[in-house]
Amino acid sequence: MKNFEQVTLISEGAEYLKPGMQTELSKRILDSADELRGSFEEKILTILNIVAKLPVVNENKDDVFRKRTADQILNDNFVTGCTDSALICIAFFRAVSIPAKYVETIDSDWIQHGGEQIAGHVYVSVFDGSRWRVIDPVKKIVDADIARDGRVVYGEGLDSWDIGIDSFDSLSKAFNDFRSQK
C-alpha cells in the first residue's frame, strides 16, 4: 500500500501530464514522440537536442510572441526564444509520459531596479517520480537553479496561456504588477 506522500507525489505529477491549450499533443508531436526511446535522462536530452536544432528567429517577434501552440511552432520550424523552446519541450515531455510544468520567471535585478526592457526567462520543471527537476531548455541544462540564475518564479502552469500570458502586453502587465507588489 502506498503511503500518503507517495500518493500525493503521483497525483501532483499526473496534473502535469494533461495538455494545455498551447501544449496539446498533436499527431505530429505524438508521432515524433513515438520514436523517442531510452531512459528518463536519455529522453530529456533527446528532446532538448530536438528543440536546440530549431533556428531562433527574432524578426516579427510581436506577431507570434506567446501566440503559437507547440504544434504551430514545429510547423513554422523556428522559435523566438525561451517561451517557444519551453512549449515544445513540455509537449514532447508529456507525449512520453514525463510530467512537465511551464515555469515563468522574472530577473531579480529587473524587479529591484526596473528598466525599459522587461527581463525574464522560461524554464520547464519535470517530475522524475520522486521530485521536480528544473530544466533550462535554451541552455540545455538539466537541474538548473532558478535562484542562482538570478531569477524568481512568477508562475507555473500547463503553459503560458494557462498562467494568463498570451502577448507582450499581457506579459508586461503581469511582470509590472508583480514588481509593484514586491
Residue 157 near residue 100, CB atoms below 8 Å: no
pLDDT at position 59: 61
Q: Which of 89, 85, 34 is nearest to 56 (CA)?
A: 85
What CATH number is given to the structural domain containing 75? 3.10.620.30
Residue 121 near residue 107, CB atoms below 8 Å: yes
Number of structural domains the chain divides into:
1
* Backbone φ, ψ for residue 79 (5° rounding): -115, 155
Q: Is the dihedral of CA 149, 154, 157, 163 positive or negative?
A: negative
- Those residues whose C-beta lies under 8 Å from the C-beta of residue 41, and which sit 6 or more positions away, are 142
Residue 101 near residue 124, CB atoms below 8 Å: yes
What is the end-to-end Cα distance of the chain in Å, rounded?
44
User: How far is Cα 33 from Cα 81, in angstroms, rounded to an integer?
Assistant: 22
Q: Over 25-93, what HEC string results?
A: CCHHHHHHHHCCCCCHHHHHHHHHHHHHCCCECCCCHHHHCCCCCHHHHHHHCCECCHHHHHHHHHHHH
For residue 134, count other CB atoms closer than 10 A to its CB: 19
Range of the domain at 77: 4-180
pLDDT at position 1: 41
* Backbone φ, ψ for residue 19 (5° rounding): -75, 150
Tens place of pLDDT per residue across the chain (182 aa): 444 444 444 566 889 999 999 999 999 999 999 889 899 999 999 999 999 999 998 765 778 889 999 999 999 999 999 999 999 999 999 999 999 999 999 999 999 998 888 899 999 999 998 899 999 999 999 999 999 999 999 999 999 999 999 998 999 999 999 999 87
pLDDT at position 58: 77
